[in-house]
């Protein structure tokens, strides 16, 4: 983070760090567009009523008030005030409903934008950060195959970020129907409550979760134990998953003819398809992991979380799931499935965990020297001619001693310095990295390809 980032939770990067973030954004956008997603941008604000409707994060909202209205804010109920969005899913569902007549469904969209969480300042928690989302939203219905394909697009996206120092990512998938079916099958009814407690497993451990299941969800010790055993199940193939699940159902006396068991198997079959299809394409990229619960209450089918090998302490860096009831218009429903990357946290890891860095600070490949201020026009002309050929070019700020001009290029990582012709010498260009100096003409010179573009290099062990 830029040293001076003076406001806790609001990350700001130095220019050379921003290059890493910008190129990560460019990379994600490229992957999303390769996969046929349409880019949109929604406004940063939503009505309080939309923000308060859904999700665990709805408590962490920044509300807005116009300076002119200070002192009268509370005349307006929170529902009617404007607030900053805390994710890109709530805005998407509003956008889809508002524009349903103009969109082609299923609507596949990508969106990379800042979101805000109005939390108390806290070490390591961002209050402003960038999310990178993909979602597919159907009109009325949405084919199940998107629940397989979307996590794979994200696997692809995260693979492409390994060039920035990210370790291998593994998507952990579960299915709400599977969980609900099982819980009902063993006689529990407070499904949301059980999911909420199971979601705490990584934080507080099985013993404590078991206690909470008994205390707050009306579970017997045996039922609580069954929930914890379900959460322990994981599998890399559909067959393994089905076997283990049915064994557990057997042991817990779940009636294989019950509606609950049928619901569980509906979820199971989607989940099995996800791990089997992903194994064909990228073995090991997606695992069925039945402890994944996701705090947000709007998920209705598949749920996903993603962890980085060796950087599990970062928590899930890409999460999402299927939501059938988030957006509706009268009786018309817009079911969706989507995943969201918490990009700012990843960039922070790239910079400080993986030591990713820009190959240079300036986008310019070459600095044009200025012999004296009267001749600045010559240097500007050379710059214009190179820029017209697509070569990013800077011109020396001052006609000071040549050593000082070269130092300016060096500070910015600009690899070449161009010397305009003088009475004594023809035009030439010097590579200040290698020291090589050669005659050059603006109509034909190009930087060596390794110096043509700003790139991101990775100094970490994970590369």
Residues 230-269, interacting with a second copy (CB under 8 A):
none
CB of 10 to a second copy, least distance (A): 4
**Interface with a second copy includes 310 (CB under 8 A)?**
no
Q: How far apart are CA 243 and CA 254, in angstroms?
A: 14
Contacts of 421 (CB under 8 A, 6+ apart): 427
Rule CB under 8 A: which of 148-167 touch a second copy?
Answer: 149
243, 352, 411, 441: residue in contact with a second copy (rule CB under 8 A): 411
Report how far residue 137's alpha carbon sits from residue 260's, in angstroms, rounded to the nearest whole number.
Answer: 27
Q: How far is CA 118 from CA 9, 12, 75, 87, 183, in A?
A: 10, 18, 21, 12, 34
Contacts of residue 95, defined as CB under 8 A and 6 or more positions apart, other chains included, come to: 40, 42
C-alpha torsion 242→248→251→255, nearest 10: -60
d(CA 128, CA 84) in angstroms, rounded, equals 10
124 interacts with a second copy by CB under 8 A = no
Was 230 annotated as part of a binding site?
no
- DSSP bridge pairs for 33: none
CB 111 → a second copy: shortest distance, Å?
10
Site track 67-86 with a second copy (rule: CB under 8 A), x = hit:
xx-xx-xx---x---xxx--
89 in a known ligand binding site: yes
Is position 88 annotated in a ligand binding site?
Answer: yes
Indicate whether 401 belongs to the interface with a second copy (CB under 8 A): no
How far apart CA 162 and CA 165 sit, in angstroms, is: 5
> Which CB atom, from 155 or from 195, has the smaller least distance to a second copy?
155
For residues 154 and 367, which CB has a smaller minimum distance to a second copy in the complex?
367
- Shortest Cβ distance from residue 63 to a second copy (Å)? 5
385 binds a second copy (CB under 8 A): no
Question: Looking at beta carbons only, is 116 or 182 nearer to a second copy?
Answer: 116
Residue 38 pairs in a beta bridge with 109
108 binds a second copy (CB under 8 A): yes
Of the candidate residues 8, 27, 53, 63, the single one contacting a second copy (CB under 8 A) = 63
> Cα 194 vs. chain centroid, distance in angstroms?
28
For residue 22, state whether it binds a second copy (rule: CB under 8 A). yes
Task: Give the binding range for a second copy (CB under 8 A) out of 39-47, 221-229, 236-244, 433-441.
Answer: 39-47
Question: Which residues share a beta bridge with 342?
Answer: 131
Find the shortest distance in angstroms from Cβ 42 to a second copy.
6
Task: Closer to a second copy by CB, 234 or 278: give it.
Answer: 278
Q: Say how far apart CA 44 and CA 319 lie, in whole Å.
A: 21
Task: Report the residue number, 29 or 229, with the smaller CB distance to a second copy.
Answer: 29
Q: Of 352, 398, 404, 441, which one interacts with a second copy (CB under 8 A)?
A: 398
Locate 314 and state its tokens.
């970062």
* CA–CA dist 227, 201 (Å, integer): 11
> Which pair of tokens denotes residue 366?
């070459």
With H, G, I as helix, E, B as strand and everything else as coil, classify residue 146: helix
**Going by DSSP bridges, is the β-strand pair 366-368/393-395 parallel, antiparallel, or unpaired?**
parallel
299 marked as binding residue: yes
Binding mask 364-383 for a second copy (x = CB under 8 A): x--x-----x--xx--x---
- Residue 63 or 214 with smaller CB distance to a second copy: 63
Q: Considering the rule CB under 8 A, would residue 408 count as an interface residue with a second copy?
A: yes
- Torsion angle (degrees, nearest 10) of CA 292, 307, 296, 190: 20
Taking CB under 8 A as the rule, does residue 98 contact a second copy?
Answer: yes
Distance CA 338, CA 321 (A): 6
Structure tokens at 406: 């070269």
- Of 108 and 291, the one with the shorter C-beta distance to a second copy is 108
Report if residue 104 touches a second copy, rule: CB under 8 A.
Answer: yes
User: Is residue 281 at the binding interface for a second copy, with CB under 8 A as the rule?
Assistant: yes
Told to check if 435 binds a second copy by CB under 8 A, we report: no
Of the ranges 174-182, 212-220, 275-283, 428-436, which one interacts with a second copy (CB under 8 A)?
275-283
Cβ contacts of 122 within 8 Å, gap of 6 or more: 8, 9
Query: What's the rounded Cα separation, in Å, for the pair 112 and 316?
Result: 18
State the binding site.
Answer: 87-89, 117, 131, 135, 294, 298-299
State the binding site for L-histidine.
Answer: 87-89, 117, 131, 135, 294, 298-299
């Amino acid at each position: 983070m830029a040293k001076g980032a003076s406001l806790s939770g609001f990350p700001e990067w130095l220019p050379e760090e921003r290059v890493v973030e910008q190129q990560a954004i460019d990379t994600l956008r490229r992957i999303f567009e390769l996969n046929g997603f349409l880019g949109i941008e929604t406004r940063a604000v939503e009505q309080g009523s939309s923000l308060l409707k859904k999700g665990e994060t709805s408590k962490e909202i920044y509300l807005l008030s116009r300076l002119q209205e200070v002192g009268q804010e509370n005349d307006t109920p929170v529902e009617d005030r404007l607030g900053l969005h805390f994710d890109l899913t709530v805005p998407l569902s509003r956008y889809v409903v508002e524009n349903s007549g103009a969109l082609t469904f299923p609507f596949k969209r990508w969106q990379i934008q800042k979101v805000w969480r109005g939390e108390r300042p806290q070490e390591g928690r961002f209050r402003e950060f960038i999310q990178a989302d993909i979602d597919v939203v159907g009109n009325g219905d949405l084919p199940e195959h998107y629940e397989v394909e979307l996590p794979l697009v994200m696997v692809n996206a995260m693979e492409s970020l390994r060039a920035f120092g990210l370790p291998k990512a593994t998507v952990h998938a579960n299915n709400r129907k599977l969980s609900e079916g099982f819980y009902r099958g063993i006689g529990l009814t407070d499904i949301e409550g059980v999911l909420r407690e199971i979601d705490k497993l990584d934080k507080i451990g099985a013993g404590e979760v078991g206690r909470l299941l008994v205390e707050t969800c009306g579970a017997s010790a045996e039922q609580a134990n069954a929930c914890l055993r379900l959460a322990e199940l994981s599998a890399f193939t559909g067959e393994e998953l089905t076997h283990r699940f049915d064994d557990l159902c057997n042991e817990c006396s779940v009636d294989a003819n019950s509606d609950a068991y049928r619901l569980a198997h509906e979820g199971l079959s989607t989940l099995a398809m996800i791990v089997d299809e992903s194994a064909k394409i990228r073995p090991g990229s997606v695992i069925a992991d039945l402890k994944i619960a996701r705090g947000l209450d709007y998920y209705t089918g598949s749920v996903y979380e993603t962890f980085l090998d060796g950087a599990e302490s970062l928590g899930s860096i890409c999460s999402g799931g299927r939501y059938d009831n988030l957006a509706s218009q009268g009786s018309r429903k817009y079911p969706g499935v989507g995943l969201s990357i918490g990009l700012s946290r990843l960039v922070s890891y790239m910079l400080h965990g993986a030591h990713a860095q820009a190959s240079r600070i300036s986008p310019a490949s070459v600095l044009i020297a200025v012999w004296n201020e009267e001749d600045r026009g010559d240097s500007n002309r050379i710059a214009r001619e190179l820029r017209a050929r697509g070569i990013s070019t800077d011109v020396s700020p001052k006609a000071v001693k040549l050593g000082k001009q070269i130092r300016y290029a060096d500070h910015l990582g600009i690899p070449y310095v161009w010397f305009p012709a003088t009475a004594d010498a023809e035009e030439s260009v010097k590579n200040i990295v290698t020291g090589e100096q050669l005659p050059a003409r603006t109509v034909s010179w190009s930087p060596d390809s390794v110096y043509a573009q700003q790139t991101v290099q990775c100094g970490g062990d994970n590369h």
